[in-house]
Structure 1
Amino acid sequence: MHSKRRLLVLIVGLLVVVLLVQAKSHPQADPCQNFYGVACGNWSAIHASDAYQSFLGQLDYNYQAKLADLLDAEYFAKGGHDEPHSVQQLRYFYTACRRPLTQDQVLRSLEQLIALEHIQFEEMTVGLTAAFRLQVLASINHYNKYDIFKQLLARREHWHPNTTNREPLTRQQFDELWVRMPKIPFPEKEDFWHQVSRLEAELTSIGIENDETARDELVSWIPSFWMLPWPKLTYRNLHRVTRLLALRTPQFMLTYIYLRLQLPPEGGVSKDTWLMDRDQCAEQSRQILSHAAVWLMEQHHPRLKEEPLLQDIFEELKQRFGQKLRANRNNFTRRTQQFLVRKLKRMRLRLSILPRNASATTVGQLIDGHYRHVHMNASDYFGNLYIGLNHSSPQMHEYGTFASPFYITEKNMLIVPLSLLEPPLYAHDQPPILTYSSLGFILGHELSHGFDSEGVTFSADGVASRAVDRETARNPRFQHELSCLDRRFGSRRYEKFADASGLELAYSAYFDTAQTDRKRHRSTDNLLSQQQQFFHNFAQFFCSDGEFSEESDHGSDRKRVNDAVAHFKPFREAFSCGTSHKRRRQCRLF
Structure 2
Amino acid sequence: MWIICLALIACVTVEAQKVSNPNTRLLDNILSYVDTEVSACDDYFGHACGKYAKKHLDDPFTEITQMVDHKVNQDLLTLMQELEQRSLQPNFNRTGVEAKVWSFYHTCRNASSDTRSGRHYLTLVPPDEGLTWPQFTPEGSVWPGERFKWMETLARLHRYGEVNILMKVFIQSSPNNSSEYVMDLSMPSLEETGQRLRPFLETMRTLAVLGVPTASAITLTKKIKSLETALRNIIDEDDDDTNGQYMTVRQLQRRTGVHWQKFIELLLGQPIEPQFRVNVQSLGYFKALVQLLNDREPNVVASYMMTRLMLYLWEETMDSEEPLECVKDVRRNMNLATSLLYKERFLGSAGHLQRNSASVVQTFEQLRRQFLRLVKRNRLRLDRTQRKMITQKVHDMVLNIGNMPQHIDHRRYVSQHYASLDMSSGYLDYARSHLQLLEFRNRQWMSQLSHSPHRVSEYYYITDSSTGMSSSPYYMIRQNVIIVPYGFLQEPVFLPDSHNVFKFSLLGFILAHELMHAFDGHGVIYDGQGNLSEAGLQIGNSARFEAGLECINRNETAYLNERVADIDGIQLAYDAYFGAESHQNRTQPDFTDMPLQRIFFLNLAQFFCGNGDASNFLDHDTDAVRLKQTLTNFAAFYEAFQCPTALSTERCQLW
2:120 match: 109
**TM-score of the superposition, structure 1-length normalised?**
0.70
**C-alpha displacement of 1:387:** 2.0
CA distance in 2 between partners of 1:348 and 1:104 (Å): 43
The alpha carbon displacement at 1:408 in A equals: 2.1
**Which residue identity does 1:88 align to in structure 2?**
A
Q: Which residue of 1 aligns with 2:650?
A: 585
Distance change (3 Å), C-alpha of 1:490 and 1:419: same
Query: Residue 539 of structure 1 contacts residue 561 of structure 1 at CA under 8 Å; is this kept in 2?
Result: yes
| Cα distance in 2 between the residues matched to 1:542 and 1:9 | 26
User: Please, which runs of 5 or more residues in structure 1 have no aligned partner?
Assistant: 1-7, 127-141, 154-167, 199-247, 257-273
Query: CA shift at 1:535, angstroms?
Result: 0.9
Aligned alpha-carbon RMSD (Å): 4.1
- Per the alignment, residue 296 of structure 1 pairs with 341
- Cα deviation, residue 121, structure 1: 8.2
Aligned residue runs from structure 1 range 480-491, under 5 A: 480-491=547-558
Residue 569 to residue 189, structure 1, CA distance change in 2 (3 Å): closer
Between the aligned partners of 2:32 and 2:324, the Cα distance in structure 1 is 27
Q: Distance in 2 between matches of 1:315 and 1:486?
A: 29
Match of 1:306 among 345, 350, 356: 356
- Does the CA-based 8 Å contact 1:376-1:384 persist in structure 2? no
State the shift of 1:510 in Å: 2.2
Instruction: Give, in whole Å, the separation in 2 of the partners of 1:98 and 1:572.
Output: 53
Partners of 2:424 and 2:69 in 1: CA distance: 24
Amino acid at match of 2:102: R
Aligned equivalent of 1:70:
79
Contact kept? 1:489, 1:496, Cα under 8 Å = no
Answer yes or no: is the 8 Å Cα contact 2:38–2:46 preserved in 1: yes
What's the offset of the Cα at 1:421?
Answer: 0.5
1:495 maps to what in 2? 562
Deviation, 1:39, is 1.9
Report how far residue 144 of structure 1 moved.
6.2
Q: Which residues of 2 match residues 416-495 of structure 1 at below 5 A?
A: 416-473=484-541, 475-495=542-562
- The answer to whether the 8 A contact 1:17-1:533 is kept is no
In the TM superposition, residue 497 of structure 1 has moved relative to its aligned partner by: 1.0
Task: Spell out the pairing of 1:338-377 with structure 2 (5 A cutoff).
Answer: 338-369=388-419, 372-375=420-423, 377=425
> 2:113, 2:565 → 1: CA distance?
47
Q: Is the 8 A contact 1:93 1:376 kept in 2?
A: no
Cα displacement (A) at 1:182: 4.5
Q: Residue 651 of structure 2 aligns to which amino acid in structure 1?
A: Q
Q: Answer yes or no: is 1:284 the counterpart of 2:329.
A: yes
CA distance in 2, matches of 1:255, 1:467: 46
Counterpart of 2:63 (choices 54, 68, 85) is 54
- Cα deviation for residue 255 of structure 1 reads 9.3
Query: Which of 569, 574, 579 is equivalent to 1:507?
Result: 574
Give the secondary structure class of the aligned counterpart of 1:32: coil
| CA spacing shift, 1:469–1:182, aligned 2, 3 Å | closer
Whether contact under 8 Å (2:49, 2:606) holds in the other structure is yes
2:371 aligned with 1:318: no
Contact 1:478 1:589 in 2 (8 A): yes
Contact 2:114 2:120 in 1 (8 A): no
| Secondary structure class of the residue paired with 1:549 | helix
Secondary structure, in 3 states, of the residue corresponding to 1:188? helix
Whether the 8 Å CA contact 1:374–1:388 is kept in 2: the answer is no
Give yes or no for contact 1:406–1:446 (8 Å, CA) kept in 2.
yes
Aligned with residue 91 of structure 1, among 102, 112, 135: 102
Q: Distance in 2 between matches of 1:457 and 1:123?
A: 33
Residues 121 and 501 of structure 1: is their aligned pair in 2 closer, same or farther, counting only changes over 3 Å?
A: same
Asked whether the equivalents of residues 84 and 368 of structure 1 are also in contact (C-alpha less than 8 Å), the reply is no
Structure-2 change in CA distance of 1:322 and 1:111 (3 Å): closer
Q: Deviations over 1:411-435 (max 9, x none)?
A: 3222111111012222341222221
What is the count of residue pairs matched by the alignment?
476
| Structure 1 residue 149 displacement after superposition | 4.9
Deviation sequence 1:487-531 (CA, Å, 0-9, x none): 4344411111111122112222222353x637x564378786321
Q: How does 1:267-278 map to 2 (within 5 A)?
A: 276-278=321-323
Q: 1:100 to 1:85 in 2, by over 3 A?
A: closer
**More displaced 10-residue stretch of structure 1: 13-22 or 546-555:** 13-22
CA distances 1:137-156 after superposition (whole Å, capped 9, x unpaired): xxxxx976775659xx9xxx
CA contact (8 A) 1:86 1:367 kept: no
Q: Is the 8 A contact 1:24 1:40 kept in 2?
A: yes
The aligned counterpart of 1:538 is: 604
Task: State how far apart, in whole Å, the 1-side matches of 2:481 and 2:654 are.
Answer: 21
The equivalent residue for 2:282 is none
Contact 2:363–2:503 under 8 Å retained in 1: no
Match of 2:137?
A: none
Match in the other structure for 2:628: 562
Once residues 251 and 108 of structure 1 are traced to their aligned partners in structure 2, the CA distance between those partners, rounded to angstroms, is 11
Does the CA contact (< 8 Å) of 1:121 and 1:143 recur in 2? no
Is the 8 Å Cα contact of residues 528 and 574 (structure 1) preserved in structure 2? no
Offset at residue 53 of structure 1 (A): 2.6
Q: RCO (CA 8 Å, sep 6+): is it higher in 1 or 2? A: 1
User: How far is the alpha carbon of 1:480 from its aligned partner?
Assistant: 1.2
**Distance in 2 separating the partners of 1:461 and 1:111:** 43
1:333 Cα deviation after fit: 0.9
Shift in alpha-carbon separation, 1:182–1:478, aligned structure 2, 3 A:
closer
* Match of residue 435 from structure 2: 386
Cα-to-partner distance string for 1:258-290 (whole Å, 9 max, x where unaligned): xxxxxxxxxxxxxxxx97322211111010111
Structure 1 contact 351–415 (Cα < 8 Å) conserved: yes
Letter in 2 for 1:106: S
- Which residue type is aligned with residue 483 of structure 1? E
The share of aligned pairs that are identical, in percent, is 22
Compared with structure 1, are the counterparts of its residues 561 and 189 closer, same or farther at alpha carbon in structure 2 (3 Å cutoff)?
A: closer
User: What per-residue deviation string (whole Å, max 9, x for no partner) do you get for residues 352-373 of structure 1?
Assistant: 101112112432244224xx14
Q: Which residue is equivalent to 1:130?
A: none
Whether the 8 Å CA contact 2:502–2:600 is kept in 1: the answer is yes
Is residue 115–residue 430 contact of structure 2 (8 Å, CA) maintained in 1? Answer: no
Residue aligning to 1:23: 32
